[in-house]
Amino acid sequence: MNFIAQVVWIFPKFDTIYLFYIFLMGVAAFIYVKVMNYIQNKQTSVVNHWVEFQRFAVARKCNQVELNILHAFYDHLSEEEREIYLLPENRNKLKNALYRYFLKSNANTTEKEVDLFDKLFRSGVEFKKEILSLNELTIGEVAALEADGREELTYVMQKTTDELLLSVKGLSKDLLVPGKEAKLYVFRPSSGGYLLEGKVVRTNESGVIFHFNGKIERKGESHLMLTDKVSITVSPWPPPDEKKQVLELDKNKLLLTEENIDKQLEVLKRIAKDQKENNEKRFDIKETPRPFITLSERLSDRGILFSFPPGTSSEIWKQQDLWEVSFSFENGPMFHIRAKMMPTKQKSDLYLLRYVDADETVRKTLYEEIRKRGGIREVLT
């Protein structure tokens, strides 16, 4: 008996409930697509906002530590606030929001917050000013009041020739005691931090009067340089005798395969072609890096500008990763510092040795030696 002939084909009965199920599946798929597009667009928007914000900060000379601080601030903002604060006309709103954020946060040093404000909101003209008196301070300038071994954020509301009215918002009550000796920390990106000495003379719920006694101490990121020529010795580092021996196989035991012969023939053909085309420069032997003595053009606590002496090829900076520079001052200590060498953009015959292993002790010692000899504000490039 044919089995197929016995099969009874039963078609499913179509019910209207199936239309409802199909409709629900369609709605669910539509909602899923919409939600995924919204999440993706929101993530893209957040990334784009941060990229714009970061670009603004980098243009204002913010370093990586400061960018990390700004990223934490940015993360706590709402999507609407991020869009508003990115607009150039809303820089004051951004400044106020950042100030409120710093008052509530204890994650950063107060001096670092002051530095960040100056880099972000200081005008181009003010960027380069040094602090010589209260005349160089601006209304609204963010500063740090330092007393009893700690610092707290404040800002300048009014000023005279020797007194400042500071905001008390965020300041501890024990810092608002009349007669308390204090210092005010301010910052300029081009010359570093400054401490203005004085004391609290009056206070109430609206502000504190800080009396400046005329003494200003430099602090922080200021750097000095000497334009007097100093003899420096520059040597490849590590010295050749300290470099690891290169492992080589016994050439007498090398296998002479057909592949090796083909490669050597190919090299010989290229050499013959270059010689025929008078391309002799390809066969020049590169100069081996070796020690040399020269005079500095500018010497600072971060690096040295110099020119190569006659007979030394300027191309050797490409052949060596690190160099050790040695120099000393009259009646001063001897310095041995490792550095990276690179050409400057300003003049083709000037090169820069940028220190890479000078710790804080070495930098401070070098800074003091330069200061004692009449150093001026550093300009290396």
Task: Output the pLDDT for position 323.
Answer: 92
Q: Are residues 54 and 146 in the same domain?
A: no
Residue 12: pLDDT over 70: no
Does 137 score more than 80 pLDDT? yes
Looking at residue 318, its amino acid is K
C-alpha dist (Å) from residue 103 to 96, 153, 172: 11, 7, 11
DSSP state of 349: T
Highest mean pLDDT of the ranges 6-15, 81-90, 95-104:
95-104
Per-residue pLDDT, 85: 81
**Most confident range, picked from 199-203, 276-280, 377-381:** 199-203
Q: What pLDDT is attached to residue 317?
A: 86
Between 65 and 197, the more confident residue is 197
Using a pLDDT cut of 70, give the percent of the chain over it.
71
Compute the average pLDDT of residues 12-19: 62
Residue 362 lies in a domain: yes
**359 in any annotated domain:** yes
Kindly state whether residues 186 and 235 are assigned to the same domain.
no
Q: How many domains does the chain have?
A: 3
Mean pLDDT, range 314-322, rounded to an integer? 86
Q: What is the overall mean pLDDT for the chain?
A: 78
Residue 349 lies in a domain: yes
pLDDT of residue 328: 93
Pick the last residue of a domain from 121, 151, 170.
Answer: 121
Residues 225 and 316 in one domain: yes
31, 37, 39, 44 alpha-carbon torsion, rounded to 10°: -170
Q: Among 57-66, 245-254, 257-266, 352-361, whose mean pLDDT is lowest?
A: 245-254
User: Of 76, 98, 121, which one is at a domain's C-terminal end?
Assistant: 121
How far apart are the C-alpha atoms of 366 and 57, rounded to whole Å? 31
The reply to whether 73 and 147 lie within a common domain is no
CATH number at residue 140: 2.30.110.70
| 145, 175 Cβ separation under 8 angstroms | yes
Taking CA 87 as the corner, what is the angle to CA 84 and CA 88, rounded to the nearest 5 degrees?
145
My answer on whether 317 and 231 are in the same domain is yes
User: Which pLDDT band holds residue 276 (cuts at 50, 70, 90)?
Assistant: low
Question: What is the domain-level CATH number for residue 311?
Answer: 2.40.10.220
Residue 63 pLDDT > 60: yes
Asked if pLDDT for residue 288 goes beyond 70, the answer is yes
User: Looking at residues 168-197, what average pLDDT do you find?
Assistant: 86
Give 319-353 pLDDT, tens digit per residue: 888 899 999 998 889 999 999 898 886 556 889 89
User: 368 with 231, same domain?
Assistant: yes
Check whether residue 297 and residue 328 sit in a common domain: yes
Give the pLDDT of residue 315: 86
Residue 15: inside a domain: no
Q: Indicate whether 356 and 304 sit together in one domain.
A: yes
User: Above 70 in pLDDT, residue 304?
Assistant: yes
Phi, psi of 268 (to 5 degrees): -60, -40
Q: What is the pLDDT, as a whole number, of residue 44?
A: 44
Same domain, 68 and 144: no
The reply to whether 265 falls in a domain is no
Name 338's bridge partners: 324
Identify the DSSP state of 331. Answer: T
Joined together, the tokens standing for residue 86 give 């990115």
Does residue 166 belong to any structural domain of this protein? yes
Q: 166-194 as b/e, with b when 16 or more CB fall inside 10 Å?
A: bbbebbeeebbeeebebbbbbbbbbbbbb
Q: 225 and 373: one domain?
A: yes
pLDDT band at 246 (very low <50, low <70, confident <90, very high): very low
Could you say which of 98, 121, 144 is where a domain stops?
Answer: 121
pLDDT at 18 over 90: no
Domain membership flag for residue 205:
yes
- Is 197 found in the same domain as 113? no
For residue 255, tell me if it sits in a domain. no
What is the mean predicted confidence (pLDDT) over 134-138?
89
Domain residue limits at 139: 134-220
Q: What is the pTM of this model?
A: 0.50
Give the pLDDT mean for 158-182. Answer: 89
For residues 282 and 152, the model is more confident at: 152
373 and 236 in a common domain: yes
For the chain, give the percent of residues with pLDDT over 90. Answer: 21
